Amino acid sequence: MTHSRLALIGFGNVGRAFVRLLLRKESELKEKYDLTFRVTGIGTGRHGAAIDPDGLDLEKALALVDGGQSLSPLTKKTVTGPLDFVRSVPADVLFENTPVNVATGKPAIDHLQAALERGMHAITANKGPVVHAYRELASLAQTKGRKFLFESTVMDGAPIFSLFRSALPAAQLTSFRGILNSTTNLILGRMEAGDTFDDAVRYCQEIGLAETDPSGDVDGWDASVKVAALVTVLMGIPFKPQQVDRTGIRGITAEMVAVARTHGKRWKLVCSAEKNGNDVNGRVAPELVSPASPLYSVEGSSSIVEFHTDTLSSLSILEGNPGPETTAYGLLADFINAVKDQ
């Protein structure tokens, strides 16, 4: 029986969905995987932090944060900030789910590095550390005999990175093409149904899919970070979001959408990369796609990626309408994969 002490830094929608999933899967983890756990720490940006070596009451933690209250009534140790939390919490696995910093990947990189240096497995849904410090964190994890895993960073819980890590040995990725940003796909779909661009953005904000400032999605930055992460990890070439040739969807008008439909085509924000020797061309831009493309029928907030390798000419993964629960599943899968072979 493997027993793991878990710590979470970042307790927003994804973090809370992950805790609910842990509670729902607790019996299954024990019976099927011989795994038990207790959550010994939760650190947040707005609700304080709580540490209890004996395990936190997770239902109370969820209720406090859902109600906008502080976690401080649950703590047995006071910390001075996020990094102090990581360095103080008694844990075997850290789940890092703080907001993405596209420019530098910090402070998430610092959190993950501190966890690995303490001998924890480091798991994240944050794309920033993958594009800005993948090699450093992976090397540190190997040195410490721990795992640095990040399945939830691209296409939520879909098995993208683990697919190449485990199921596709000796397959060299030569190119990929897909729809990796849920928000823009839904915006373009709403515009096909008659919404203006602004109305479609507002709808995505109302349902919690888009931020108050939607520029990260509509200007293509989120998609560019995902392209950079796939190139960095799966092609083995360090690649930054700033290297992606990026065009967002602000220039797509209702008239352009209507004309495309009359010709049987659809606008999609297409993410792609192609490897040429040691060079990579990465691109994010609106494209007209025809019914012959697997991207054509991707609706709503769904995502798709089509891989081309030196051994398989085409392999596609489609994820239908993901949410915090699917991202949480990626964290759970990483947790199982990190500790099952200990």
- Tokens linked to 23: 């509670």
pTM: 0.95
Q: What integer pLDDT is reported at residue 157 of this predicted model?
A: 85
The answer to whether the Cα torsion of 86, 329, 102, 162 is positive or negative is positive
Q: Which domain holds residue 46?
A: 2-157+324-339
Tens of pLDDT, residue by residue, the chain (342 residues): 789 999 999 999 999 999 999 999 999 999 999 999 999 999 999 999 999 999 999 999 999 999 999 999 999 999 999 999 999 999 999 999 999 898 899 999 999 999 999 999 999 999 999 999 999 999 999 999 999 999 999 998 899 999 999 999 999 999 999 999 999 999 999 999 999 999 999 999 998 888 889 999 999 999 999 999 999 999 999 999 999 999 999 999 999 999 999 999 999 999 999 999 889 999 999 999 999 999 999 999 999 999 999 999 899 999 998 888 999 999 999 999 999 866
Q: What is the C-alpha separation between 82 and 88, in angstroms, rounded?
A: 10
Residues sharing a CB contact under 8 Å with residue 153, sequence separation 6 or more, in sequence order: 124, 125, 126, 127, 130, 226, 229
- 97 and 69 housed in the same domain: yes
Cβ–Cβ < 8 Å for 168, 283: no
The Cβ of residue 70 has, within 10 Å, a number of other Cβ atoms equal to 15
Active site amino acids: 226
Q: What is the C-alpha separation between 164 and 234, in angstroms, rounded?
A: 7
Q: What integer pLDDT is reported at residue 342 of this predicted model?
A: 65
CATH number at 143 reads: 3.40.50.720
Residue 206 falls inside a structural domain: yes
- 240 and 263 housed in the same domain: yes
When divided into structural domains, the chain yields a total of 2
Q: What is the C-alpha separation between 6 and 65, in angstroms, rounded?
A: 18
Q: What is the C-alpha separation between 15 and 3, in angstroms, rounded?
A: 20
Residue 175 falls inside a structural domain: yes
- 214 and 254 housed in the same domain: yes
Closest listed residue to residue 184, CA positions, set 131, 246, 125, 129 = 246
- 305 and 328 housed in the same domain: no
- 123 and 236 housed in the same domain: no
Q: What is residue 117's three-state secondary structure?
A: helix
- 15 and 67 housed in the same domain: yes
Residues sharing a CB contact under 8 Å with residue 246, sequence separation 6 or more, in sequence order: 219, 220, 221, 223, 224, 283, 284, 285
- 241 and 335 housed in the same domain: no
What is the per-residue pLDDT across 146-188, written as a single tens digit (0 to 9) for each?
999 999 999 988 999 999 999 999 999 999 999 999 999 999 9
Q: What is the C-alpha separation between 338 and 139, in angstroms, rounded?
A: 16
- 150 and 10 housed in the same domain: yes
- 264 and 328 housed in the same domain: no
Q: What integer pLDDT is reported at residue 1 of this predicted model?
A: 77
Q: What is the C-alpha separation between 235 and 278, in angstroms, rounded?
A: 9
